[in-house]
Structure 1
C-alpha cells in the first residue's frame, strides 16, 4: 500500500512540480498502479528483469546527482548545515547519548530490511552460485555508503528543521526540490525527478509484489494456506491467485486510509507501527538457524565461505545486531518505563498479537490439512 500511494504523489511532482493530489485521485491512481503491477506480475514476469535493469541505472543516476551536488555545496561552504569533525563522531559520553546512538543504530538496520526479497529471482541470474552472493555483498556495501553520503548531501540542501516539516511520503522529492532551489535548477528539475521516481516506484511495486507472493505463499509448508492461494499457473508457475489476493488487500488498505476519515487513518498507521518489529524477528531466527545448519555441515549452493568459523561468526553477528535493533528501536532506557508504555505496547504488543494470530492460523490450517489427508486416504 505504501509504494502504491507514492506513485500518485511522485506523478504529481512530475506533472505539477508539487504534491498536489486529492484523496480520490490518490485512491484511483494507486489502484491503477496496483493493477499494472498485477498484470505484469501475472503475464509478463520475464519482462521484470529487463525492466529493473534500466530503472536501476536511472535510480543510481538520480542518487549520484543528489550526492555530488550536496558534497559540492559543502566543499564550497554553501551547505545549509555546517558540518564539522564533531558531526561525524558518535557521542556516548552520557546515558542519554548512548541511548540515542543505540536507537539510531537500530533504525539504520531497517535500511537493509527487505533485501531478502531478491531470493525468488535467483534463477534469473547468470552463474548464480557466484554472482548472486557478489550481488548481495555489493548491494549491502552500496546501501551503507549511500546512507552516509545521503545524510551528508541532505544536510547541504536544508536544515533538520526544514526537513522535519516534510511528510515521509514527500521526503524524497522534497529533497530534490530543496536541491533545485538551492542551486537554482528551477521547477523543471523537480518535474524530471518526479517522472523518474514514478517509474522507479512502479517497478519497485512490481518486484515487491511478485517476490512477496513467491516468498510467502510458495515456500510455506503444505496446508499452511488454502490451496487456491498456493496454486501456481500451469504455463509459467506464477501464483496468480496470491497476486490477485495481495492486490485486493492492498487496495482495501488504501481505500480505508483514504476515505475512512481520521479514525481510519489513525488505525492504519497504528497497524503499520505494530508491524515494524515484525521486520526484525525473521533475521534473528535466520541468523540462529544459519549457525546450526553450518555447524551440522549442511552446505548450500550459495555461500561466501566454505569453512565453519566465518559463517558462524556472521550468523552470531546478524542475530546480535538484530537483537539490539529489536530492543532499542522501541525502548529508551533513559526514560521511565511508565512514560513510554504506550510506545512499547504499540511496537512489542503489536508484534505479539500478530505472532499469536499466526500461531492460531497455523494450528487450524494444519488441523484442516491433516483432516483432508485422512479423508483422502
Structure 2
C-alpha cells in the first residue's frame, strides 16, 4: 500500500507557509524601493529554485535522519563538521532573538496608539532595558514549557499569511475601488522604473533577499512523503517559486502604490506594514481595523516566535550533543529535562546584542534597520552547511540512494552547489556594509560595520572554543579515573 499521499501542490503550500511572510516584502522594499521587483525575479531564478531542489535531494537521501542539516553534514563528512553545523544553526538565532522584543513593542504600540510613536519616542536606554526585560521573561517562561503559546503562535502565523495576501489584493484593487486613492510612485507603467542600478550599494542589499528566501531546509521531511518524489517534488518547488515570486512582485508593487519609491519614510522597515494597512483601511472605509488586526496577529506571532526560537534550536544543539565537542556543563539538565546552562548561555549572548546598540545606535529606526541587516548577515550562514553537504554528497554520490535527484550529472551538481555556497557567502560579506550615509554619521557607520563583522566572528569562535573545553574536561575526567584506579 502506497502511504506517500502528499501531492506536489500540497508540498508547495506547506513550504510557502514556512518560508514566506509580509516582512520579506517590507524589508526589501525599504532597501531597494520599487526596483526590488527585478531583484526578486533574479533571486528566485538564480538562487531560490536551485536551493529548494538541493534541499529536496538531501532530504530524500537522508530521509531517516532526525538532526536535519547537521545529520546531512555528518553523513557526508565528519562528526566535527556536523557539530559546527549544529552550532551554526543555533548561534545564528542569537541576533534573531535579540530583535524580537523590539518587534513586540512596535506591534503592541500600534494596537494601543494607532501609530509608531510609543517606541520611537522612547530613549534608546528605555528601549534596550524594556527589550531586555521582555526577553528575560520569555527565557524564564521557556524553561517552564509554552506549548499553548506555540499553538496560538501557529494560528497567528496562519493569520499573518492570510493578511499578507489580503494586503496584496486590497492594494492592487485600491485604485479601482477607492476613487480617492492615488498611486504614490510615479511611472509605474514604465519598465525602466523597475531596473536597479547595479552598483556597490545595490550588492550590499542582496543579503536581505537571501535572508528572505532562506529556510527551505525545513521542507526536507516532506520529500519522501510526496507521491512519486522524482517527478512531483521538483514540480512542487517550481510552484513554490511561482507563489513566492507572485507575492514578492505584487507585494512590492503594492508597496510602491502606497509609498513613493523615490521618497521612502525613514521608519519604513519598523512601521511600514502597519502604516500600509492603516492607509488601506482608511481608503476602504474601515478605519484602523485592518491595522489593528495585523498588529495583534503580528504581535502574538512575534511572541510565539521568540518562545519557540529560544527552545527549539537549543534542543537541536544540545539534546543529543557529542561529549567530544560539547562540555558536560553545557549539556547539564535539571530533573525536568531543562537545559539549564544552555538557557543561561542563550541569555548572556542575547542580552549582549540587546544592550550593544547603547554604544552607537541613536534612535529606534536605526536600531530596527541595524538588527534586521545584522540578521540578514548572520542567519544565512546556516544555509552554507546545506550547500556544503550537497557538494560532499555528490563527491560520493554512488554510496547513497535517493528517490529524487536535483541534477544527475555529477560535475553540474557540484557546480550548482558551489554556486549557491559562494552566492550566500558573498551576500553575507557584502551585507556587512552599513546601509547609512557615512558622511552624515561616521561614528554610527563604523559602529555598525564593526558589529556586523565581529558578531558572526565572535559567535563562530565561541563554537570553536567549546570542543577545546570538552577535550580538557575529558582528559581531566580520565586522569581522575586513572588516579582512583591506582589508589584502589
TM range (shorter): 0.7 to 0.9
**Residue deviations 1:74-99, cap 9 Å, x none?**
667842213124257545xxxx6354
Give yes or no for the alignment of 1:14 onto 2:105.
Answer: no
The 5 A counterparts of 1:132-147 are 137=237, 142-147=243-248
Number of the residue aligned with 1:31: 133
Matching residue within 158, 173, 176 for 1:57:
158
Number of the residue aligned with 2:297: 196
Matching residue within 346, 357, 378 for 1:246:
346
Q: Structure 1 pair 216/176, CA: closer, same or farther in 2 (3 Å)?
A: farther
Q: Structure 1 pair 49/187, CA: closer, same or farther in 2 (3 Å)?
A: closer
CA distance in structure 2 between the aligned counterparts of 1:32 and 1:356, rounded to whole angstroms:
28
C-alpha contact (below 8 Å) 1:38/1:244 kept by paired residues: no
**Residue deviations 1:54-86, cap 9 Å, x none?**
223201111012111122236678422131242
Number of the residue aligned with 2:17: none
Matching residue within 367, 386, 391 for 1:286:
386
Shift of 1:195: 1.3
C-alpha RMSD of the superposition: 4.6
Q: TM-score if structure 2 supplies the norm length? A: 0.58
Structure 1 unaligned runs (5+)? 333-338
Q: TM-score if structure 1 supplies the norm length? A: 0.72
CA distance in structure 2 between the aligned counterparts of 1:191 and 1:104, rounded to whole angstroms:
30
Q: Structure 1 pair 319/183, CA: closer, same or farther in 2 (3 Å)?
A: same
Shift of 1:227: 2.5
**Residue deviations 1:23-61, cap 9 Å, x none?**
65885576356535653564244x576444422320111
Q: Structure 1 pair 108/142, CA: closer, same or farther in 2 (3 Å)?
A: same
CA distance in structure 1 between the aligned counterparts of 2:432 and 2:481, rounded to whole angstroms:
48
Deviation larger for 357-366 or 135-144: 135-144
CA distance in structure 2 between the aligned counterparts of 1:319 and 1:182, rounded to whole angstroms:
45
C-alpha contact (below 8 Å) 1:70/1:156 kept by paired residues: yes
C-alpha contact (below 8 Å) 2:207/2:377 kept by paired residues: no
**Residue deviations 1:296-320, cap 9 Å, x none?**
1354889665956475454233213
**Residue deviations 1:193-248, cap 9 Å, x none?**
2212111211222222222212343465425444243235666x664542454346
Give yes or no for the alignment of 1:227 onto 2:328.
Answer: yes
C-alpha contact (below 8 Å) 2:185/2:260 kept by paired residues: yes
Deviation larger for 307-316 or 320-329: 307-316
Matching residue within 191, 201, 205 for 1:86:
191
Q: Structure 1 pair 109/17, CA: closer, same or farther in 2 (3 Å)?
A: same
C-alpha contact (below 8 Å) 2:138/2:306 kept by paired residues: no
Deviation larger for 163-172 or 344-353: 344-353
C-alpha contact (below 8 Å) 2:142/2:311 kept by paired residues: no
**Residue deviations 1:137-169, cap 9 Å, x none?**
476665444332221111111113554321633
Give yes or no for the alignment of 1:315 onto 2:417.
Answer: yes
C-alpha contact (below 8 Å) 1:74/1:156 kept by paired residues: no
SS at match of 1:72: helix
Ranked by relative contact order (alpha carbons within 8 Å, sequence separation 6 or more), the top structure is 2
Number of the residue aligned with 1:336: none
Q: Structure 1 pair 251/355, CA: closer, same or farther in 2 (3 Å)?
A: closer
Shift of 1:264: 6.3
Number of the residue aligned with 1:371: 476
Give yes or no for the alignment of 1:129 onto 2:224.
Answer: yes
Q: Structure 1 pair 227/162, CA: closer, same or farther in 2 (3 Å)?
A: farther
SS at match of 2:183: coil
Number of the residue aligned with 1:171: 272
Give yes or no for the alignment of 1:43 onto 2:145.
Answer: yes
Matching residue within 314, 318, 335 for 1:213:
314
Aligned length: 357
CA distance in structure 2 between the aligned counterparts of 1:29 and 1:345, rounded to whole angstroms:
22
SS at match of 1:185: coil
Structure 2 unaligned runs (5+)? 1-97, 435-441, 483-488
Number of the residue aligned with 2:464: 359
C-alpha contact (below 8 Å) 2:146/2:307 kept by paired residues: no
